[in-house]
Amino acid sequence: SNVEKALHLTESTYKAMQESGYQCHAVLARETRQWGTAFMNRLAGGRAVAFDSIQHKVLYAVDKGSAVADTVGKSFDLVPGTFCLTVGGQELQYKQDGNVTYFGGDQNERNYRFKIEYDGAADSFTWEINEPVSN
């Protein structure tokens, strides 16, 4: 069935991530379907994991030196001056230089908190992060 295939592929991916060095934690949600609880328990290897016991390990979604790439598709066009980035509810100052936008710091190639680069040929963005980003 589709559910069985999805569970098999999820477990295979989970194990591959663990084997390549990622710290993976299977945390139970309020699941009422028996297969959901059983599957998460299987991933957890019989260990009960509460989110508050691992929260300090996963507080930061990305850290300094991280990059996030996103392919946006051929129907997308970059409109200059349309980026807005907020940190803690405060909008960061930015400078756009062609298809590159710098946020925070001095907003230049050597001193920025965040940088977004648009590649029109590949229809993609790359977001470079120079500080920890928390959830």
Domain boundaries, the chain: 2-58, 62-134
CB 122: neighbour CB atoms within 10 A? 11
pLDDT at 20: 92
* Averaged pLDDT of the chain: 83
- Give the percent of the chain with pLDDT over 70: 92
Identify the band that residue 10 occupies on the pLDDT scale cut at 50, 70 and 90.
Answer: very high
- For residues 37 and 52, what is the distance between their CA atoms, to the nearest angstrom? 19
Tell me, what's the pLDDT at 9?
94
Say how many residues make up the chain: 135
The dihedral over CA atoms of 114, 79, 122, 110, expressed in degrees to the nearest 10, equals -30
Q: Give the per-residue pLDDT at 131.
A: 87
Across 1-10, 30-39, 101-110, the highest mean pLDDT is recorded for 1-10
